[in-house]
A and B are shown apart, each in its own frame.
Chain A
Amino acid sequence: MIKIENVGVSKENKTILAAISVTLTEPRIGIIGSNGSGKSTFAKLLNGLERATTGAVFVNDAPIGKNNKTALGKVGFVFQNPDNQIVFPIVVEDLAFGLKKSGLSKQQIQSRITTYLEQFGLRHLLERRTHELSGGEKQLIALIGVLLMEPEIIVLDEPTTLLDLRNRSILLKLLAELPQKLIIVSHDLALMAEMDRLLWIENGNIHQDGSPEAVISAYRQFAESES
């Protein structure tokens, strides 16, 4: 469970998020909102990648303090831009990176990686150079890199943007089956309609919070009236 109390974030004298309070308990939570509204910033607050300027964030009732290691271990994060998340030049090396401190043996790590790649039908990428992958392949590898670590909660920042139809449906099926709690930032309204709860962030505030049907229809009206 993640609890956010009066959290504000400002950078360079600009308010990016303004005093948000919300408790996230549902298994599938979606976040929508316009470009630049503060979704990625909000998402990064949830495991301490982004520091709250005011207020506090709690993961399982423990506040994320100066040391965010515990929160980082509990809450996995899939970045919006996979290029920034992939660290190593070879796929298998990159995936192994997250398991370095798992205490698993080399073989166990290897077989774990193979199993996860097979789930996505991506076994053939094992030895490929990461910078040569397509955007969608990178996005999947970045996601697998986090899934492998089995965090309790996973935050995904626009996981479907670069995927083709086939990979999108593979991903959606997998997400639906995951035992973890998921918090997904996305402009993909079809995916957002499947959530248990939807937050709409606008201008650094939670503009609306409720069932996907209600929030999406209000969001649609808003987008049409603005244009």
Chain B
Amino acid sequence: MLTSTYYAGQSFLHTTRPLFKVLALFLVCTLLFVFDTWFVLTPICLAVFGLYGIAGIPRSEILLALRPAFWMLLFIFIVQIYFESLQLASFVILRFVTMILAASLLTLTTKTSDLIAALEQFFNRFLPEHIAETISLAFSLCFRFIPLVRQTFDEVTEAQKARGHHKDWRALATPTIIRTLKSADEISQAIIARSVETSHLSAANERRDREHS
């Protein structure tokens, strides 16, 4: 969930328009919450697993998608058993698992850039262009920042281990936050610098095409 997980392939899921996939995901999550019965959850859950098969995504990726949420799910499971029942606890967990897997299916079969382009197009329909563009830049930033925080944290942890320190949350949090903020400044600069207009390129192409014809 935290790093980009695009899994290249040619299945129909890979080629479906990203916007459809976003809408389908939205619909599935709504259904799961509106109708909280096994009659809805079971077919959707089976369908999601079936789609993993169709998309040709190996089982290891399913585990990877669930791993970050494991402890939280376990916690919810235990609390639910304690306060409610085993049956309800299983239902709640399976519903979360289904939603996480459905969401991962979106990121596994869609390139980040395609997803952003689709969202930009979508917002373009009812918002002025420069606002839609700003929104899509914000999405680019979000998608970039999640792995950044993760990576910075890993590096800080490693550096501290190398210096013989053990897990001390304060000692980890401070450098992680400071370094993330420092990189954040430069990443924003880079995104702005790299999203300027370069229409001279297509102009040059057209000129060349005209000369060749």
Binds B, one of A26-34, A87-95, A184-192, A210-218: A87-95
Q: Closest A-chain residue to B107, C-beta based?
A: A89
**Across the interface, do B205 and A97 meet the contact criterion of CB distance under 8 Å?**
no
State in angstroms the CA–CA spacing of A100 and B134 once bound together.
Answer: 14
**Across the interface, do B112 and A149 meet the contact criterion of CB distance under 8 Å?**
no
Contact mask for chain B residues 165-194; partner A; CB cutoff 8 A; 1 contact, 0 none: 000000000000000000100110111111
Complex partner residue of A103 from B113, B144, B201, CB under 8 angstroms: B201
Query: Does any Cβ of A come within 8 Å of B15's Cβ?
Result: no
**Across the interface, do B198 and A89 meet the contact criterion of CB distance under 8 Å?**
no
Question: Shortest distance in angstroms between A33's beta carbon and chain B's nearest beta carbon?
Answer: 20
Please provide the chain A residues from 73 to 113 with a CB less than 8 Å away from any CB of chain B in the complex: 73, 76-77, 79, 81, 83-85, 87-90, 93, 96-104, 108, 112
Q: Closest A-chain residue to B191, C-beta based?
A: A87
State in angstroms the CA–CA spacing of A96 and B195 once bound together.
Answer: 10
Question: Shortest distance in angstroms between B17's beta carbon and chain A's nearest beta carbon?
Answer: 14
Q: B88 — which chain A residues lie within 8 A by C-beta?
A: none
State in angstroms the CA–CA spacing of A183 and B120 once bound together.
Answer: 35
Please provide the chain B residues from 98 to 129 with a CB less than 8 Å away from any CB of chain A in the complex: 111-113
**Across the interface, do B113 and A97 meet the contact criterion of CB distance under 8 Å?**
yes
Chain A interface (Cβ < 8 Å from any Cβ of B): 44, 47, 49, 69, 72-73, 76-77, 79, 81, 83-85, 87-90, 93, 96-104, 108, 112, 127, 129, 131, 145-146, 149-150
Known: A72-B193, A104-B201. 18 other contacts (CB 8 A): A49-B193, A81-B183, A87-B140, A87-B144, A87-B194, A88-B144, A90-B4, A96-B113, A97-B113, A97-B195, A98-B198, A102-B201, A102-B202, A103-B201, A103-B202, A129-B4, A131-B147, A131-B151
Q: What would be 14 A-B contacts, judged by CB atoms less than 8 Å apart?
A: A69-B197, A79-B189, A85-B194, A88-B113, A90-B111, A90-B113, A93-B112, A96-B113, A97-B113, A98-B195, A129-B4, A145-B194, A149-B194, A149-B196
Leading 8 A-B pairs by shortest Cβ distance = A89-B4, A103-B202, A84-B186, A93-B113, A102-B198, A73-B196, A102-B201, A85-B190
